[in-house]
Amino acid sequence: MGINQPSNQIKLTNVAIVRMKKGKKKFEIACYQNKVQDFRSNVEKDIEEVIQIPHVFTNVSKGQFAPNDELQKAFGTTDQDKIILEILQKGEIQLSEKERQAKGNQVQAEVLQIISTKCINPKTKKRYTPTMIQKAISELKINIISTKAAKLQALEIIRQLVASQVIPIVRAKMQIKITTDSKEFKKLEAKLKPLLGEIDSEDLGKSVSITTLIDPTNYRELTEILGGNKNNSIEVLDMAVIDSNDK
């Protein structure tokens, strides 16, 4: 739907509104769709390719320009270019109802897929389908939020699913390879062993190479333990492995 700006009857099409609230006042700018994220990620550097009209509005849809006194009070300046840049960089992109629904569906699908990939039924050793995961989430009355990162939400939901056991579920294991020298391994062995699963291979000599399955939650601690020596390395071989030894 086009937007008419009454003072000069410029019709805005393909518009994306970016809004920023300062105190109790809202300020908006009219941008081209898909260009805002390009600008924020430095794919697009020409601001003229992003902004449809180089003015700050209180309401883009009604074509209402922001008065200078309100701009001065909110931003400490009436410089339109500076204010537009601040809103463009920090403001919230306003989505239409259709766009919000599409974004929500996309994030939900990503969350469910991540959980399906990272978890298994410990009894059957099989992964749950996204549909089965969704049913479990519904039972726990967990809401997936379209404005939050899918991965962070998935990890938090996994924690809740594992804690509640509304369905039999555990995290799939992570397969890693640790390489170090034998002296370093002996020094760190007491700290490493409790974090490692069954060791698939271990080559001893001047160097030690260990391939094992671990609980993904132990990965950060392992990297911290091994990070003190440049000769140590930890490599992720597989992010999600079904361990046949799990009971």
State yes or no: pLDDT of 245 exceeds 70. no
Last residue of a domain, one of 47, 76, 94: 94
**Secondary structure of 181-213 in the HEC alphabet?**
EHHHHHHHHHHHHHHCCCEEEEECCCEEEEEEE
Asked whether residue 231 is domain-assigned, the answer is: yes
Q: What is the CATH number of the domain that holds 108?
A: 1.10.10.900
**Residue 247 within a domain:** no
d(CA 56, CA 119): 48
Considering the domain boundaries, does residue 246 fall inside one?
A: no
Residue 221 is part of a domain; what is its CATH number?
A: 3.30.70.240
Residue 143's SS3 state is: coil
Nearest to 188 by CA among 157, 129, 232, 140: 232
- 88 and 139 co-located in one domain: no
Q: Quote the number of domains for the chain.
A: 3
User: d(Cα 66, Cα 59) in Å, to the nearest integer?
Assistant: 8
- Write out the residue range of the structural domain in which residue 40 sits: 3-94
Confidence of residue 7 (pLDDT cuts 50, 70, 90): very low
pLDDT in tens, 141-160: 999 988 788 999 999 999 99
Tokens of 57: 């509005």
Q: Give the end of a domain, one of 170, 189, 209.
A: 170
Whether residue 41 is found in the same domain as residue 88:
yes
Same domain, yes or no: 18 and 62: yes
Alpha carbons 230 and 142: distance in angstroms, whole number = 43
Query: Are 120 and 89 members of one domain?
Result: no
* Among candidate residues 147, 170, 193, the one where a domain is terminated: 170
| Among the ranges given (61-75, 97-111, 157-171, 228-242), the one the predictor scored with the smallest mean pLDDT | 228-242
